[in-house]
Amino acid sequence: MAVAKNVRDLQGTVSLNLDLRSSPQSTKNLQNKDSGFLDVNSSESTDLDKTKGITGFQTLVHVLKGNMGTGILGLPLAVKNAGILMGPLSLLVMGFIACHCMHILVRCARRFCHRHIVSFFLIITQLGFCCVYIVFLAENLKQVVEAVNSTTNNCYNNETVIPMPTMDSRLYMLSFLPVLVLLVFIRNLQILTIFSMLANISMLASLIIIAQYIAQGIPDPSRLPLVASWKTYPLFFGTAIFSFESIGVVLPLENKMKDASRFPAILSLGLSIVTALYTSIGTLGYLRFGDDIKASITLNLPNCWLYQSVKLLYIIGILCTYALQFYVPAEIIIPFTVSRVSKRWSLLVDLSMRFALVCLTCILAVLVPRLDLVLSLVGSVSSSALALIIPPLLEITTYYSEGMNPLTIAKDALISILGFVGFVVGTYQALDELIKPEDSLPFSNSTIFML
């Protein structure tokens, strides 16, 4: 099964195209084909046929955008789980390996058909992102509401803020459900482009404000451990690999480029920028807040309207992004279901499935309301499979019959083994933390202000 996900400029139509193929083809030959999963009207099909390739700069922008989600906000806590020395070094190594695996995927895509296992992990990953988004939305809105009566314009007042009692975070999650349902009912990709543009503007503004704050007043780093306990390192792995979210957009971007020969260099440049940004935010965030760092660094910001606006901007950005992340698994699952009913029932079944899938992500978020563990669990289970385990195995199965260098085979095997170990240990550690009694859990998501 070949998965092609076509991405246009923010001003154009965002098109995610999932295509069934029976035989290997060049990824470049897939860009103008109609999707077997998508059921679009004739006008939308015409627009897709007229789509032109994107430039190198646009491709770079999309590579950067593909990684900018909630994962970056959890990296300071991830660094805490690894240590102030081990964390940044591990992020650099993980960024290099993730980039290498993406290059492998691009090379192999011209030679193989995607297996059903890829689609399975793609569904799990994207729905996992949606669950993380709901937890993130609830936690940040809860903090804003709790402190609204004491929020001031003075960002340098270090007085402790006593949060105003409010409803449980699970109720906040449920309050977002009607809005999310309405968003996923939008099936026109041109309309969703507006939400994508709004999300990018909101997130960029938020990251700029966060970066300028955490770079100020960093205390003595000697108090922080260079290497954390080995028991918490798997949580670092899950959160960190979750952050490298662009594995799903690699092939679509390569397909859509005017000059695909430039894609490897652009991919390397984009991942280098992303890795440097991740390492900086993760390290500076942990240095700034130390052991008080929370699951999302937005929960550590001062209680003034400037930094409360960061949470509000990210809430807007993530809310708008939910529908786009939801689009991929929906367009794999829903057409399969709709094809089983008569045409008169197709629209009702389509909307019912969308409603059910949104409710599923909300229920899962309610059941696992700790943001740090959701990040780690999704990263360990599905992101590690897509980013680290599958690409090296695909390289071996694609090129082994042609004769491969033993060192290349050993390298691919080592990466897959490391990914599998991270998958098993990270999943076990996250699940172990989840089943602990609530009163024994660290307050990673506490909404008490630590200034």
Q: Where do the domains of the chain lie, and which CATH numbers do they carry?
A: 52-440 (1.20.1740.10)
pLDDT confidence band for 159 (50 / 70 / 90): low
**Residue 20: predicted pLDDT:** 34
Is the predicted pLDDT of residue 442 greater than 50, yes or no? Answer: no
**Integer Cα distance of 225 and 291 in angstroms:** 10
Give the CA count within 13 Å in the CB-facing half-sphere of 134. 32
**Which of 242-256, 350-364, 381-395 is predicted with the least confidence, judged by mean pLDDT?**
242-256
**Residue 89: predicted pLDDT:** 94
Quick one: average pLDDT of 218-233? Answer: 85
Cβ-contact 370, 178 below 8 angstroms: no
Q: How distant is the alpha carbon of residue 325 from its chain centre? A: 9
372 to 75, 169, 239, 376, 387: CA distances (angstroms): 10, 15, 8, 6, 20
Is the predicted pLDDT of residue 9 greater than 70, yes or no? Answer: no
**Residue 323: predicted pLDDT:** 80
The torsion angles phi and psi of 315, rounded to 5 degrees, stand at -60, -45
Q: What percent of the chain is predicted at pLDDT more than 90? A: 12
Is the predicted pLDDT of residue 118 greater than 70, yes or no? Answer: no
**Residue 52: predicted pLDDT:** 59
**Residue 439: predicted pLDDT:** 46
Quick one: average pLDDT of 201-223? Answer: 84
Helices (H), 38-150: 42-49, 56-67, 75-82, 86-109, 116-146
**Residue 87: predicted pLDDT:** 92
**Residue 373: predicted pLDDT:** 66
Quick one: average pLDDT of 331-360? Answer: 87
**Residue 88: predicted pLDDT:** 94
**Higher-pLDDT residue of 39, 395:** 395
Is the predicted pLDDT of residue 61 greater than 80, yes or no? Answer: no
**Residue 18: predicted pLDDT:** 37
Q: Which residues contact 387 (CB under 8 A, 6 or more apart)?
A: 98, 101, 102, 241, 244, 247, 419
**Average pLDDT taken over every residue of the chain:** 74
Is the predicted pLDDT of residue 305 greater than 90, yes or no? Answer: no
**Residue 324: predicted pLDDT:** 73
pLDDT confidence band for 389 (50 / 70 / 90): confident
Quick one: average pLDDT of 416-421? Answer: 86
**Residue 25: predicted pLDDT:** 38
Packing angle of the helix pair 75-82, 263-289 (nearest 10 deg): 70
Cβ-contact 185, 356 below 8 angstroms: no
142 to 74, 115, 116, 169: CA distances (angstroms): 18, 41, 39, 6
Q: Tell which residue, 70, 57, 59, 43, has the closest CA to residue 6.
A: 59
**Integer Cα distance of 182 and 187 in angstroms:** 10
Q: Name the range with the highest mean pLDDT among 36-40, 110-114, 331-335, 404-408.
A: 404-408
**Integer Cα distance of 236 and 278 in angstroms:** 13
Q: Name the range with the highest mean pLDDT among 72-76, 153-157, 256-260.
A: 72-76
pLDDT confidence band for 380 (50 / 70 / 90): low
**Residue 234: predicted pLDDT:** 82
pLDDT confidence band for 283 (50 / 70 / 90): very high
